[in-house]
Structure 1
Amino acid sequence: MSLRKGVAALAAKLLAGSAEVPERDYLPELPAVDWVRAAAGGLDRSVSPTQFAVGLMAVAREGGPAARAAAVDALGSAEARWWLAVDAALRDQWWSAPRWSRLLATDLTGGEVELLHLVVAGCHHDGRIREAAVAHLADHRHPAALAVLALRTVDWVAQVRQRAREAIEDSWSPSRGSMTQLAEMAFALRGRNEGAWLAERVEAALRDLPLDGLEPLLTARDRRTRRAAYRAATTGGLLSVHRLTTAAMKDDDLPIRTMCAQAAVAATSDPAQVRTLLASRTALVRAEALQAVTAVGELAAAESALSDRHPLVRAIAQAALRRSGADPALSYRLLCGGSEPPVPGAVAGLGETGDAADARLVRPWLAHPRSRGRVEAVRALRRLGVTRSAELLPLLRDESGAVTRQVVVALRHDLGALAPGMLEGLLSLSNAPHVRFAGYRLLTAGNAWQRLITNLRLIDDPDDRLRGNVRSDLTAWLNRQAATTYHGPSRKQAADLDELIEHARPVLDDDKVRLLRFHAGLPHQTVQ
């Protein structure tokens, strides 16, 4: 049975059953045309999908020609994520229009039905109405009709899904200029059940398109659509090296920048054509370009990249110098041995390539004026295996959270040298949140009972992040580590735990209180 021939049979099913007249519809007042135009395209962020769905049904039912045309045209250019939200909202709103639902079913048995009516019917909660609407929408070429057909290709009702797929296969052609919208819808729907069908067909169609057919997709607003278009264009070798390097430098999507950089390097044997990529803000792009230029012996580029902020780029530069017989550590020693602060990448590089004797060149930069420099100095000393607790302890109060995190990582391997009193001082409410969190991490990294005491002391801390970590850690200890903690607390620790557990009773449930007392070897206390 063809799509059109099946409409009458579908409508007969819709009209069969109770002859009772449905109750009245509950639709709002008509919105203004400007509101419809802005809301339909998702441009007015203050309008939710539910608010728009209510207004759209009022326009479709009672609106004038200008309002209906504005709604359809704006929906034709709406983003896929907006369509998905509106589709769900319309299904809910149709329950408030039982009388119109029956009238619409009658209309679908006849000849022409207005496009806006078909659009809202295609998002009805009744699968039979959706199926009938799909049959009519197959004859329309408007982008709004195509969007609804795309939505219905993943419909949970098999009959609706199959009719929508037949409609797209029979009537849609990539050459009609609708590929961009269909691709955006397809990739937005891919994660849903049955969503792979449309996405796979769109990707297959993209692979067969010439460059002029891909052009609109290469500049699409949707990143997934642009990625698919660039993937098809690079696989087919359709883009010039200049076009590829431009996209690698300027596109706002990381996968596209990386893909185009790789394609540009593969498409030319002249490193000069990709040298501009060495200045990219993306590490993967810089890495591709550096690999290409150093492969032909351009060691100057490798020397310049030794201090790159990303370890991958530094590793490529270091490898290039080693292939030439040079030792990159010598270059890093020169960079770090002066009186002027080196860039953070140079400090990091010395930690990657030097030896323990180079710690003397790194230690001064624990006071680097840039927080990234101090981070790399701590990390370099740890790599070189020459960290000293005494020189790292002052950095626990550093103004940068990134620095304190690195210091904690370094000090966790030498907890025995840290005075508990000093660490407890870091928990003072007068300290910055990242300083307090550094103290918390160190206090809970060693002895199980010290960990438990610290958590219980902070169980009602005013800092949301710290309090959340405390309660999660308590639960994790009870669930995973408590049963394997074979040594008991000291007498002082047991006394502290007895008091702290009771203090925490209003926060903890009775089961947790009972388990904590059991594992700590404390007698059970009955709540009066």
Structure 2
Amino acid sequence: MLENTEAGAGAAARLAEGAALRSTMDISDPDDWLALDAGVREVAWYWPLPLPAWEQSAPLPADLSQLDESRLALALCHRDGRIRQEALRQSVRHPGLLPLVVIRCADWAGPVRELARELLREALDVDSALALTPLVLRLARRDRGAAGADELGRTLRQASREQLAILFSASDRAVRRFAYRLAVEERLLRPVELARAAAHDQDTVVQDLCATAALSSVTDEHPYEEVLAPLLSARNPRTRSAGVTALRRTGRSEQAEPFLSDRSALVRACARYVVRQQGGDPADWYRKRCAAPEDPGLSPGAVVGLAECGERVDAGLLRPLLMHPTAGVRAGAVAGLRVLDCTDVDRLLPLLDDSAAGVVRETVLALLPSAEQLPADWLLERTGPEPPRHVRLGAFRLLDARGGIVALRAAVGLLEDSDGKLRTWAAQSVQRWRPTPGVRRGDAEVEELLDRCGHLFSDYVLRRRKWEAGVGR
């Protein structure tokens, strides 16, 4: 793989010596073709400007008709537009150079660009278009690259569903988006196939495109049951939310109730909409479940859902759940109290020692606005080496938000922590640190702490920090 222009210049030198294209680069990788195109013109930028390295040792002849495939590839990328134009005329003898013809379709020289587009129209068929799709779409991002994408679309509209399926599993998400848009426009996929694509693809654009197309193309031959099943069972929340919203349209609103406790806030919101449209009250549904904490079916989504649509009085149902045996429910209760703006510092502070990292993370988010009111010494004890990593991290985040000398003290203490990420975050905190009004001017501890981490600053910045704190003068 040619990782950059410099690597492309090395490939150009090997091609000039007679190496075959396939042994020099990965001809299936669009990045390699683009790197070669840039590498052929790569020169060292000093005066006088020399020729590219490959051209100094093996310049191109005046008659390009005698060139083999390797050296014709160099001519197709040459800095001189007249040479590129003549090389295009010779390229019909070497079908393997079609990717470079595609690149020349976005050339900055008009005559070269027009000739390349004419040659591409003549040479492109379905099979070659499928192979060139990643490169064409990459070039479509350039100012003059849209013509190649238009020609690609016209050619692939003649492709069958089986031929186009090669692109559905491409690693490049731009290729998958292009292929699914084409399939939707040409009605090549059945609604159930579109629903499965929405459920399994990792790209949000493909998910939305296929889910919308699947629901809008349902017919008597392909009933909603076949389409909704993949959507409602999808792992990604955008697809599940599309399926839940469609339940109302299909007269199946009662099936939305189980999704009120979904792990995704988006899906919960869609489920609440559907339930309300049929006359239900999502808040009452949540209250019944949170009022029975011993119910093994109580989920974190139901706990947070109550806060999303409830009132501050519902905090009374969430507080007992702070001691629930299930970590997810405890974390959901903390998050719910934060949403309701009912964070009780005395109740939440003990949860910083929770064994579950998710609970500590939610507790920190809830306590951040009250960081200045928290006991500094108590938090400093939890940044020592004994507590678990998630506890040290949570305590440090709160101390960092608090600022002042305790934040500097905690950060300097974590510079030698066993966890690499914590050390990095501590170093960043030290570099951001500024004295606050609560720091006593001329405090010897500040000077000592800054000296301990002096390696993180330049001499000038260290002196500046000390001057701001009124020490070291």
TM-score of the superposition, structure 2-length normalised?
Answer: 0.82
Supply the distance in 2 between the matched residues of 1:442 and 1:75 (Cα, whole angstroms). Answer: 51
Secondary structure of 1:177's counterpart equals helix
Mark the CA change 1:213 to 1:140 in structure 2 (over 3 Å): closer, same or farther: farther
Mark the CA change 1:217 to 1:372 in structure 2 (over 3 Å): closer, same or farther: farther
Q: CA deviation at 1:315?
A: 0.5
Kindly indicate whether residue 468 of structure 2 is the aligned counterpart of residue 511 of structure 1: no
Letter in 1 for 2:454: R
Supply the distance in 2 between the matched residues of 1:219 and 1:239 (Cα, whole angstroms). Answer: 14
Letter in 1 for 2:104: R
Secondary structure of 1:111's counterpart equals helix
Kindly indicate whether residue 274 of structure 2 is the aligned counterpart of residue 320 of structure 1: yes
Partner residue, 1:81: 31
Supply the distance in 2 between the matched residues of 1:488 and 1:149 (Cα, whole angstroms). Answer: 68
Q: CA deviation at 1:58?
A: 5.0
Supply the distance in 2 between the matched residues of 1:488 and 1:428 (Cα, whole angstroms). Answer: 24
Kindly indicate whether residue 257 of structure 2 is the aligned counterpart of residue 303 of structure 1: yes
Mark the CA change 1:401 to 1:197 in structure 2 (over 3 Å): closer, same or farther: farther
Give the one of 390, 409, 427 matched to 2:383.
427
**Greater shift after overlay, 502-511 or 204-213?**
204-213
Supply the distance in 1 between the matched residues of 2:127 and 2:179 (Cα, whole angstroms). Answer: 14
Partner residue, 1:275: 228
Q: CA deviation at 1:98?
A: 4.5
Contact 2:321 2:329 in 1 (8 A): yes
Q: CA deviation at 1:306?
A: 1.0
Mark the CA change 1:520 to 1:163 in structure 2 (over 3 Å): closer, same or farther: same
Supply the distance in 1 between the matched residues of 2:287 and 2:34 (Cα, whole angstroms). Answer: 57
Contact 2:161 2:189 in 1 (8 A): no
Kindly indicate whether residue 244 of structure 2 is the aligned counterpart of residue 290 of structure 1: yes
Mark the CA change 1:171 to 1:341 in structure 2 (over 3 Å): closer, same or farther: closer
**Greater shift after overlay, 435-444 or 357-366?**
357-366
Q: CA deviation at 1:308?
A: 1.2
Q: CA deviation at 1:468?
A: 3.1
Supply the distance in 2 between the matched residues of 1:358 and 1:234 (Cα, whole angstroms). Answer: 46
Give the one of 428, 433, 437 matched to 2:393.
437
Q: Encode CA deviations 1:201-234: one digit per residue, 9 max, x unaligned.
A: 4146526853636753443223312211222332
Secondary structure of 1:326's counterpart equals coil
Supply the distance in 2 between the matched residues of 1:216 and 1:391 (Cα, whole angstroms). Answer: 61
Partner residue, 1:354: 310
Q: CA deviation at 1:442?
A: 0.8
Supply the distance in 2 between the matched residues of 1:366 and 1:151 (Cα, whole angstroms). Answer: 61
Question: Unpaired runs of 5+ in structure 2?
Answer: 44-50
Kindly indicate whether residue 175 of structure 2 is the aligned counterpart of residue 219 of structure 1: no
Letter in 2 for 1:219: I
Contact 1:280 1:286 in 2 (8 A): yes
Supply the distance in 2 between the matched residues of 1:514 and 1:263 (Cα, whole angstroms). Answer: 63
Q: Encode CA deviations 1:267-313: one digit per residue, 9 max, x unaligned.
A: 23753342111111121111112111223432222112111111111
Partner residue, 1:210: 157
Supply the distance in 2 between the matched residues of 1:69 and 1:441 (Cα, whole angstroms). Answer: 54
Mark the CA change 1:239 to 1:346 in structure 2 (over 3 Å): closer, same or farther: same
Contact 2:383 2:396 in 1 (8 A): yes
Partner residue, 2:47: none
Mark the CA change 1:100 to 1:124 in structure 2 (over 3 Å): closer, same or farther: farther
Contact 1:382 1:410 in 2 (8 A): yes
Q: CA deviation at 1:244?
A: 1.6
Q: Encode CA deviations 1:342-400: one digit per residue, 9 max, x unaligned.
A: 22222221222233444354345445565444332210121233333333233323344
Mark the CA change 1:86 to 1:433 in structure 2 (over 3 Å): closer, same or farther: farther
Give the one of 445, 448, 467 matched to 1:496.
445
Partner residue, 1:248: 198
Q: CA deviation at 1:445?
A: 1.5
Partner residue, 1:172: 121
> Of the two structures, which has the highest relative contact order with CA contacts closer than 8 Å and spacing of 6 or more?
1
Kindly indicate whether residue 136 of structure 2 is the aligned counterpart of residue 186 of structure 1: yes
Give the one of 52, 67, 88 matched to 1:113.
67
Q: CA deviation at 1:185?
A: 0.6
Q: CA deviation at 1:81?
A: 2.6
Contact 1:307 1:343 in 2 (8 A): yes
Mark the CA change 1:114 to 1:523 in structure 2 (over 3 Å): closer, same or farther: closer
Mark the CA change 1:171 to 1:83 in structure 2 (over 3 Å): closer, same or farther: closer
Q: CA deviation at 1:521?
A: 2.8
Q: Encode CA deviations 1:7-52: one digit per residue, 9 max, x unaligned.
A: xxxxxxxxxxxxxxxxxxxxxxxxxxxxxxxxxxx5xx9x999789
Q: CA deviation at 1:57?
A: 6.0
Mark the CA change 1:444 to 1:315 in structure 2 (over 3 Å): closer, same or farther: same
Q: Encode CA deviations 1:256-277: one digit per residue, 9 max, x unaligned.
A: 1221001112223753342111
Contact 2:12 2:36 in 1 (8 A): no
**Greater shift after overlay, 364-373 or 165-174?**
364-373
Supply the distance in 1 between the matched residues of 2:250 and 2:174 (Cα, whole angstroms). Answer: 35
Contact 1:50 1:86 in 2 (8 A): no
Q: CA deviation at 1:443?
A: 1.0
Kindly indicate whether residue 183 of structure 2 is the aligned counterpart of residue 233 of structure 1: yes
Letter in 1 for 2:216: A
Supply the distance in 2 between the matched residues of 1:214 and 1:172 (Cα, whole angstroms). Answer: 22
Supply the distance in 1 between the matched residues of 2:42 and 2:283 (Cα, whole angstroms). Answer: 66
Q: Encode CA deviations 1:459-490: one digit per residue, 9 max, x unaligned.
A: 56564433433443444455xxx6xx5x3524
Partner residue, 1:257: 207
Supply the distance in 1 between the matched residues of 2:439 and 2:9 (Cα, whole angstroms). Answer: 63
Q: Encode CA deviations 1:484-524: one digit per residue, 9 max, x unaligned.
A: x5x35247x92321322233334322322232223223351
Partner residue, 1:345: 301
Partner residue, 1:331: 285
Partner residue, 2:470: 521
Mark the CA change 1:182 to 1:370 in structure 2 (over 3 Å): closer, same or farther: farther
Letter in 2 for 1:426: R
Q: Encode CA deviations 1:96-129: one digit per residue, 9 max, x unaligned.
A: 5456522xx22x6153432233224434577665
Contact 1:57 1:120 in 2 (8 A): no
**Greater shift after overlay, 272-281 or 213-222?**
213-222
Contact 1:49 1:89 in 2 (8 A): yes
Letter in 2 for 1:146: L
Q: CA deviation at 1:70?
A: 5.8
Structure 1 vs Structure 2 CA RMSD: 3.7
Partner residue, 2:48: none
Letter in 2 for 1:169: E
Partner residue, 1:146: 98
Contact 2:293 2:321 in 1 (8 A): no
The alignment-based identity, stated in percent, is 30
Supply the distance in 2 between the matched residues of 1:407 and 1:109 (Cα, whole angstroms). Answer: 75
Contact 1:341 1:368 in 2 (8 A): no
Supply the distance in 1 between the matched residues of 2:314 and 2:264 (Cα, whole angstroms). Answer: 21
Q: CA deviation at 1:252?
A: 4.6
